[in-house]
């Protein structure tokens, strides 16, 4: 049934690419998709998710992602709230890599390393809305950005990137990220950086949430969160969520919280499969995440402190969790990791499917 459901979603997504309407944003600078009492808002800045509104087990609606009240606040956001990050998500050691015999030196923005595409990554620019179907059976919006050679902190080649968001069936959100290299080989690793709190963005920390991650291994990191190159099993460690457990049950065994890449268990290469589930018992909200990506960054918003968000609510550490499906961090410097190099004629595609439901 899961395979059939994903296939139907992909067919519906094709229809969004095939038709569109003139994009008209709301008065607050956002774009909204709505399907019944399920609604999602976006801004062109970083092609970011601004809100996701869902009912709980009593039918009460709540916004379950952290963010800001107005679109303009995303322009200078340093938290990456809801953004598409890239060209290369996560970290690149020493802000450099060698490709086809050429050493590319990038602009660091975290110590001597690069994080999420550097100081002018995809999260820092205004994307163009190229398709917008606000309502109907499968509301969708597509953002497009043309990154020129060397523009983004030194990455090679021209790259056209698109991200399409679509609401399908009951309480399902598809995110499809594509990229096409026009004239040079270049690394591409796009990720969505939504901060989720299924109790509501202003409900406090996420430590009581139950999580299950379908990854038997992780890529361990050094003190600067750069992968060592090893791939190690999670069994018997605080990273073991192969069976559902509360986030808070093991977090105190770590210095700051979770910020680690899981190697997702594969049924077949590049096939969409279940990566993680999250359950908030008090509200009954359940989230399932499916992806075709090889990795999943689990992050418990360890760096949040006194961030003023929606409605004036102040977000603190562990106020949300991020589930960023991705290629492995720093893969450009680890030949044993799955390659994230995209060449002309062979486009990049990364899919995410969020299924929301109610569970007692």
For the ranges 60-74, 138-152, 261-275, 299-313, which has the lowest average pLDDT?
Answer: 261-275
Query: From CA 310, how far away is CA 312, in angstroms rounded?
Result: 5
Residue 237 preceded by cis peptide, ω within 30: no
pLDDT at 360: 80
Please say if the pLDDT value at position 15 is more than 80.
Answer: no
What pLDDT is stored for residue 3 in this prediction? 47
Q: Which of 7-21, 179-193, 248-262 has the lowest mean pLDDT?
A: 7-21
- The pair of three-digit structure tokens given for residue 316, joined into one six-digit string: 């603190």
Mean per-residue pLDDT of the chain: 93
- The sheet with strand 31-35 has its strands ordered as 31-35, 38-43, 48-55, 61-63
Give the residue with greater pLDDT, 266 vs 160.
160
At residue 268 the predicted structure's pLDDT band, cuts being 50, 70 and 90, is confident
Distance CA 330, CA 221 (A): 11
Q: Which H helix or E strand runs over 12?
A: helix 2-18
In sign, the C-alpha dihedral spanning 180, 182, 187, 190 is negative
Please count the other Cβ atoms lying within 10 Å of the Cβ belonging to residue 95: 21
| Statement: residue 26 has pLDDT above 80 | no
- Sorting pLDDT into bands at 50, 70 and 90, what band is 267? confident
Distance CA 139, CA 136 (A): 6
Element (H, E) at 5: helix 2-18
CB 330 within 8 A of CB 91: yes
Angle at CA of residue 40, ends 37 and 43, nearest 5°: 155
Give residue 153's pLDDT.
85
Report the percent of the chain where pLDDT is more than 90: 87
pLDDT digits (tens, 9 = 90+) for 145-175: 999 998 888 999 999 999 999 999 899 999 9
What is the predicted pLDDT for the residue at 23?
Answer: 57
- Residues in CB range of 198: below 8 A, 6 or more apart: 64, 206, 209, 278, 279, 280, 283, 285, 286, 287
pLDDT range class, residue 21, cuts 50, 70, 90: very low
What is the β-pairing status of strands 314-315 and 307-308? antiparallel
Q: Is the pTM of this model over 0.85?
A: yes
**Which range (4-8, 112-116, 176-180, 296-300) has the least confidence?**
4-8
DSSP per-residue letters across 145-180: EEEPTTTTTT--S-EEEEEEEEEETTTEEEEEEEEE
Instruction: Name which of 27, 72, 24, 66 is nearest 49 in CA terms.
Output: 66
- Which residues are within 8 A (CB) of 284 and not within 5 positions of it... i.e. 6 or more apart? 56, 57, 358, 359, 360
pLDDT in tens, 318-349: 999 999 999 999 999 999 999 999 999 999 99
Q: How far apart are CA 308 and CA 301, in angstroms?
A: 14
Report the pLDDT value the prediction gives residue 27, as an integer from 0 to 100.
Answer: 64
Active-site residues: which are they? 193, 324
Helix, strand, coil distribution of the chain in percent, nearest 5: 10, 40, 50
Q: 13 in helix, strand or coil? A: helix
């Amino acid at each position: 049934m899961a395979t059939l459901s994903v296939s139907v979603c992909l067919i519906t997504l094709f229809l969004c690419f095939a038709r569109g309407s003139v994009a008209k944003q709301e008065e607050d600078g956002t774009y909204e998709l709505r399907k019944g009492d399920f609604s999602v808002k976006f801004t062109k800045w970083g092609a970011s998710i601004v809100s996701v509104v869902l009912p709980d087990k009593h039918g009460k609606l709540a916004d379950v992602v952290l963010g800001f009240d107005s679109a303009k606040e995303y322009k200078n956001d340093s938290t990456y709230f809801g953004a598409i990050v890239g060209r290369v998500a996560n970290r690149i050691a020493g802000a450099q890599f060698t490709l086809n015999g050429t050493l590319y030196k990038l602009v660091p923005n975290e110590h001597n390393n690069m994080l999420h595409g550097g100081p002018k990554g995809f999260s820092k620019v205004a994307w163009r809305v190229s398709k917008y179907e606000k309502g109907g059976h499968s509301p969708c919006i597509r953002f497009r950005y043309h990154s020129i050679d060397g523009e983004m902190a030194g990455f090679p080649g021209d790259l056209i990137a698109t991200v399409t968001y679509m609401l399908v069936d009951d309480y399902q959100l598809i995110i499809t990220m594509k990229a096409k290299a026009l004239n040079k080989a270049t690394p591409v690793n796009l990720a969505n950086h939504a901060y989720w709190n299924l109790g509501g963005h202003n409900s406090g920390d996420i430590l009581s949430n139950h999580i299950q991650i379908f990854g038997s291994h992780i890529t361990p990191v050094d003190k600067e969160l750069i992968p060592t190159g090893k791939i190690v099993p999670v069994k018997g460690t605080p990273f073991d969520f192969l069976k559902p457990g509360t986030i808070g049950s093991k977090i105190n065994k770590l210095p700051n919280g979770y910020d680690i890449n899981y190697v997702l268990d594969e049924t077949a290469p590049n096939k969409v499969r279940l990566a993680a589930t999250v359950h908030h018992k008090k509200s009954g909200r359940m989230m399932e995440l499916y992806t075709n990506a090889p990795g999943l960054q689990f992050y418990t918003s360890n760096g949040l402190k006194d961030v003023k968000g929606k409605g004036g609510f102040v977000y603190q550490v562990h106020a949300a969790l991020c589930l960023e499906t991705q290629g492995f961090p720093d893969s450009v410097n680890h030949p044993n990791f799955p390659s994230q190099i995209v060449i002309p004629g062979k486009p990049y595609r990364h899919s995410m499917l969020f299924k929301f439901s109610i569970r007692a």
